[in-house]
Amino acid sequence: MSALDHLLELQANDTAADQLRHRRANLPEQAELQRLAAVVAEKRKAFVEPSQQRADLQRDQRRLEDEIATVSAKITSVDSQLYGGSMTSPKEAQALQADLESLNRRRSTLEDQVLELMEQIEPLDELLGAGEDSVAEIEAEAERVRITLAEHAEELDAEAAKVAAAREPLVVGVDADLLVEYERLRPLHGGVAVARLTGSTCLGCHISLAAAEVDQLRRQPADAIVHCPDCGCLLVR
């Protein structure tokens, strides 16, 4: 087997490694994860306004409940003064009774307002709860995709490791100068640096060479390093 034949085997190995790297970088599960992440982001974006509405309503509810607590404490105090047995003045008792009635009306009004707020909050809770359930389902699906992605990546990594191990003995069989030329050409031609000349066709670029070009190439010594005049690949004749 000639040095260029050894180089063809090395090229096949490197092509396999390139293909594995491409597959590893473009696993369909990766695109699916990106799609699912975009769906989740869009759903969470839709939660922003109703979440803010609910937060505003809950803040108002807490404010009213704090006021109810304050009014209730005043009612307890007035009630204690009015019925505690220490009241001697009918006029003062009448004033306290009026305060008590006013405070009870105020508390009733505040409680009605709290109920109104709770009625407004309830549909928002249902909407946001349903949205969170939907997001949870998508995230569970994303987790399943991540597991599958990891499995496929592991398989490709193992295959790539085998291909890499097989490269070492192939490199040994190639002349150092020829290997340097090969490594120089690979990035210039999409990873393909050497190809066989079959008939008049270069299998690197699949272009048929002129008869004169083919004749000139075939007149070169068997171990001469020659290039395709069209794509520049090393040619194995």
Question: Which of 3.40.1160.10, 1.10.730.10, 3.20.20.70, 1.10.287.1490 is the CATH number of 9-169?
Answer: 1.10.287.1490
φ/ψ (deg, to 5) at 185: -80, -30
pLDDT, mean over the chain: 91
Give the pLDDT score at 132. 95
Distance between CA atoms of 201 and 34, rounded to whole angstroms?
Answer: 43
Q: Which residues, including other chains, have CB under 8 Å from residue 145's CB and lie 6 or more apart?
A: 29, 32, 33, 36
> Is residue 2 pLDDT above 90, yes or no?
no
pLDDT(31) > 60? yes
Question: So where are the chain's domains?
Answer: 9-169, 178-236
- Looking at residues 53-65, what average pLDDT do you find? 97
pLDDT at 162: 96
Res. 88: pLDDT tops 70? no
The 10s digit of each residue's pLDDT in 112-132 is: 999 999 999 999 999 999 999
Q: What pTM does this model have?
A: 0.70
What's the confidence (pLDDT) of residue 76? 92
